Structure 1
Amino acid sequence: MTNLFLKAKHWQLFSILIGLPISGYIIMFALLFSYATTTNDLDDTTLKSFMVILPGVVFLVMCMLFGWFWSIAIGLQSKVPATVKMKVKKFKVFFFIPFIYILSLLVFMAFFGFTDLEANTDFYSIFPFGLLAVLLPLHFLSIFGIFYSLYFVAKTYKTIELQREVSFSDFAGEFFMIWFYPVGVWFIQPKINQMVEGTSPIKVQYI
């Protein structure tokens, strides 16, 4: 699976990460709008079905995006120079925190799609307050995990390109391109293809 992401062309990744979810959202909301205009009403069953479908679409997009991050950070470690020590274990911890957190939220959304809210009014009137106390710190930890993952992925990429220890100033551009991946994938992925194929020229910088 890692090699599939590393060898994929930029247009293929863009189609998967951007084109596929957009197409899914358009179809989903077009059906929802069509049903609403035809029946002039949305019953609970229809709304609940979309509460299940939407997390499924988001889950697919999340898996593709996180899979790309993992492929760069882990799949290219063999090309990191032996003199540079990358904190791979730390990356794995902060990588899976947001992944599990987002997955849990999606499962929670789908749970509402299968639940009769009116039959559990008393429970849901107090549940959000307890849930907020748990989710708020996890939410901030998840945000940190995402940014650390972006940081590590960009650092790995630039370390391989320069074949030396790098500082944030060296890979700040790559960090933001990976963050804004709909644009960055067009610039990052072709160089990743070259790294995998062994055709990427090594940039030697003299201090």
Structure 2
Amino acid sequence: MEPNTNAGWILGLKHWQFFALLVAPRALEYFFFSFGNPNGDYYWVELCYWIYTLSLICGWLYFTTINLQPLLPSAITMNIKKFKWEMGFTFFPPFFLLTITLLREINGNGGSGFFELLAFIGLILLYPIICLFKSMYRMIRTLKEVELQRPVSKSDFDLSDLSILYPLIGAWVFQPRINQVYEYASRQKLNVEE
């Protein structure tokens, strides 16, 4: 399976660029809206931020794992269909629910039944959260297997691998490792072609 060349922009990011993509919308929100509406009813901005963050993290996990898969040793197999289903369940239910909530806020229905809607969303999001953790694990495992060029066991994982649970820190830990793997793979590809 060939890597997805359309994802080159997200795979070539440096760690500080990925961190800036995660933090910039929140920083801009505080900068521009701190002196705006005195009521401070900007639920729609918060919902847009969560839709953006969900899209960015799911895209990063998906494209990184899919593009690491061809670099795995031939003895290691990965069920790509299962991974794609997990990523689909990670992304689409929360995306649609956040979009519906955003539309309710824009139409002025945000205050009516908001707690019931929040409890409903929480119950529906339980399975996507589990799928998100499984997708994070698959990305970490695939990255480790590409780095070590052998199947990994539980003893191969260390504390830094848990930093992916908090993406602001995970960006600083994983993105340099991903860049290093891709640089090495592209050098190997150039050597083979010559």
The TM-score, its normalising length taken from structure 2, stands at: 0.79
The question of 1:5 aligning with 2:10 is answered yes
| Map of 1:39 onto structure 2 | none
Counterpart CA distance in 1 for 2:185 and 2:81 is 29
Number of equivalenced pairs: 181
In angstroms, what is the RMSD of aligned CA positions? Answer: 2.8
Decide which of 63, 68, 91 is 1:71's aligned counterpart.
63
| Map of 1:23 onto structure 2 | 27
After TM superposition, list the pairs within 5 Å mapping 1:53-202 onto structure 2: 53-117=45-109, 124=113, 128=116, 132=119, 135=121, 137-198=123-184
Computing the radius of gyration from Cα coordinates, the structure with the larger value is 1
Moved over 4 A (4+): 134-137
| Map of 2:189 onto structure 1 | none
CA deviations 1:122-168 (Å, max 9, x no partner) are xx59x938x85x64543221111111011101001001001111123
8 A contact 2:72–2:146 mirrored in 1: yes
Counterpart CA distance in 2 for 1:168 and 1:90 is 21
**Once the 2 structures are TM-superposed, how far is the Cα of residue 89 of structure 1 from its aligned partner?**
1.5
8 A contact 2:26–2:49 mirrored in 1: no
Counterpart CA distance in 2 for 1:107 and 1:156 is 32
8 A contact 1:2–1:67 mirrored in 2: no
8 A contact 1:80–1:160 mirrored in 2: yes
The TM-score, its normalising length taken from structure 1, stands at: 0.75
| Map of 1:203 onto structure 2 | none
- Structure 2: which 5+ residue stretches go unaligned? 1-5, 187-194
Q: What code does the residue aligned with 1:79 have?
A: L
Helix, strand or coil for the counterpart of 2:30?
A: helix
Instruction: Label 1:115 to 1:187 Cα distance change in 2 as closer, same or farther (>3 A).
Output: closer
**Once the 2 structures are TM-superposed, how far is the Cα of residue 115 of structure 1 from its aligned partner?**
2.9
Counterpart CA distance in 2 for 1:154 and 1:73 is 9
**Once the 2 structures are TM-superposed, how far is the Cα of residue 179 of structure 1 from its aligned partner?**
1.5
